[in-house]
A and B are shown apart, each in its own frame.
Chain A
Amino acid sequence: MSAPLAKAADAERVLDVANLRAYYQTWHFGISRDVRAVDGVTLHVDRNEIYGLAGESSCGKSTLIKTIVRAIRPPLAVIEGSVRFDFGGRACDIYALDRARLAGIRWRHLSYILQGSMNVLNPVRRVRESFVDFAFRHIGKPMPQFLALVEDHLARLRLDPAVLGSFPHELSGGMRQRVTIALASVCRPDFIVADEPTTALDVVVQKDVLALLREVQRQIRSSMILVTHDIGVHANATDRLGVMYAGRLIEEGRTGEVIREPRHPYTAQLVTSLPRIGDIEPKQGLDGAPPSLAAPPPGCRFHPRCPLAMEMCRREHPPMVEVAAGHRVACWVKAPPGGMAAP
């Protein structure tokens, strides 16, 4: 690990998540159940980068996102760990803020793009009014200037400003999602969280929306976490990629590296099993199923399905070990701490 990289990284971190544990603690008719959705996650996002979070259903990535933006409600509770943001020199722990400061941060410094944009835009109000609702008080300019700013923003993103006068249902799904992206970026926030932004969209529209997302990020130089299960999306949009499995981060590194040279057996399986046009090699799926987060297996949570599982894997969960610059893996076999990794 080179020193200049470390120093630059420290100074440029926008988000720092340390040892985060968040469980759903339910109690129904005498049966108490802890769903360990996020179980010890440590990651960071630098300035001006798109960090991708990949994983399948019930891996905890949606819960991680909710915890990062502090959109948690019972029965979800943060058990341990911290989530620290650095918005242009002003560092803060999002869980230490009071309601007022939290409201001040939201949208101005931290905004989100959700799956299902139809849920974000108020169906009985025009798009313009949604912009007013979300962003007006943060911009702090009088209304005519604010609206001009919004139109300008839309124009720079190559969106027809006429959409401002429409109702959400008059727009197509792709258009709505583009509007949602414009809405999330109008205050030029330092950090944007995008949860499955292209999942419900058609293939053709998906590419356009993704291009828009990247364009937005390039223009306002914000950092982003992009959550999606689709590796193709990560390949085309993110700079760094973190793979989650059963509530834990198991591999992380530059997207190109993680996809071309995955170290963790799960990542390897995930990436190589994807069919591609022009490739007729037989592909294999994984056996078994992702574990239940209420009763995860001991040790490394992937061990029941892992072809390389050793005794150690059944007993203890492997720590994240840096196998190459910026590339971390949690695997006893592929990344033994301090030792030689198996080929």
Chain B
Amino acid sequence: MFTVLRDLLRYRTEFRFGAILTGFIAAFAALSLVSPYPPHDQFVVPPDLPPSWSYWFGTTSRGQDVFWQLTFAIRNTMLFGLSVAVLSRLVSVAIGMWSGYKGGIVDRLLMSVNDTFIVIPLFPLLVLFYFVLRDRMSWPLLALAMASLGWAYDARLIRAVALSLSSREFTQQCVFSGMRTREIVFQEHLPYVLPIVFYTTMNNMNWSIGLEVTLSVLGFTDIDTPTVGVMIYWANQHTALVAGVWWWVFFPVLFVMILFIGLFLLAISTNEYIDPRSRLARMGGVSG
């Protein structure tokens, strides 16, 4: 595992950049643990101060230090994205592989359900979700809602891989070696599915973070917990850009962009590395 990471760091510039960027954001988020100001407190510092040596990123109209707010915001946003991605991966892998391997009526049924989920308009649904729950809306609940909506597209992708794998001869050989379906799927097929899972995880994180920011900016989430989107929401509430308090919007946007780019670079560079065909080439397998 570590040799893989070391190789990637050494030889793939995209991975190095991606790792640096994401690492930077993660380190920044970790700073929230030593923040001198609790995240919900307001008017702890003079408001509307531009970036300076005492307040690196300036202060907000609510009297909060943008720097420290952002550490919480980024941390919450990242955790949110990660939890949505992980939860929805579990669903999409399970459904995709089961559907692909079983085939027949199980496949048809699952894919009908799947396709229904694909065409569901997410945004209106989530807005409706907010309106129904109002004050009982919380981040875990939102994460759950998004996870249960965001698995369908990737499930189809994984199913395609599972389908092609189940028709390959080595799968038959496994059957005739006495392996059970569960073992074949998890031990033999998963390595082929993993690159897609990893790539879609990064993608899914970007998607969920984007959606979260959108919803928060519009105020359709719990606006008391600081996230990137919530920061921008409050900035808009205080008409920050018109008032000239540009740093309140600029830094959250900048940091979330860095996170996006970092995740993207990680995804595409690791993907090539994990891909079975390039793995084979590295092991010295396929000849010219």
Seen from chain A, the residues whose Cβ lies within 8 Å of a Cβ on chain B are: 24, 26, 28-31, 33, 35, 37, 58, 63, 75-76, 293-294
Contacts and interface: CB of A to CB of B under 8 A. Distances in A.
Contact of A30 (B7, B278, B281, B287): B7
B288 A29 contact: no
B284 interface: yes
A28 B10 CA distance: 12
Contact of B282 (A29, A35, A37, A58): A29
A28 B288 contact: no
Main secondary structure of the interface of B (DSSP, over half): helix
B281 A26 contact: yes
Nearest to B282: A28
Contacts of A33: 284
A24 B7 contact: no
B11 interface: yes
Nearest to B10: A30
7 closest Cβ pairs, A-B complex: A24-B288, A28-B282, A29-B7, A29-B11, A58-B287, A35-B288, A37-B288
A63 B288 contact: yes
Interface residues of B, number: 9
Interface string B256-288: 000000000000000000000010011010011
Nearest to A27: B11
A75 B288 contact: yes
A29 B7 CA distance: 6
A207 B10 CA distance: 55
Interface of B: 7, 10-11, 278, 281-282, 284, 287-288
Contacts of B11: 29-30
Contacts of A75: 288
B9 to A, nearest CB: 11
Nearest to A76: B288
Contacts of B284: 33, 294
Given A29-B282, A37-B288, 13 more contacts: A24-B288, A28-B278, A29-B10, A30-B7, A30-B11, A31-B282, A33-B284, A35-B288, A37-B287, A58-B287, A63-B288, A75-B288, A294-B284
Contacts of A58: 287
A61 to B, nearest CB: 12
A35 B284 CA distance: 10
A75 B288 CA distance: 9
Contacts of B10: 29-30
B281 A28 contact: yes
Contact of B287 (A28, A29, A35): A35
A167 B103 CA distance: 33
Contacts of A35: 287-288
Nearest to B288: A24
Contacts of B288: 24, 35, 37, 63, 75-76
18 contacts: A24-B287, A26-B281, A28-B278, A29-B7, A29-B10, A29-B11, A29-B282, A30-B10, A30-B11, A31-B282, A33-B284, A35-B287, A35-B288, A37-B287, A37-B288, A75-B288, A76-B288, A293-B287
A63 B287 CA distance: 11
Contacts of A37: 287-288
Contacts of A76: 288
Nearest to A33: B284
Nearest to A63: B288
B184 to A, nearest CB: 29
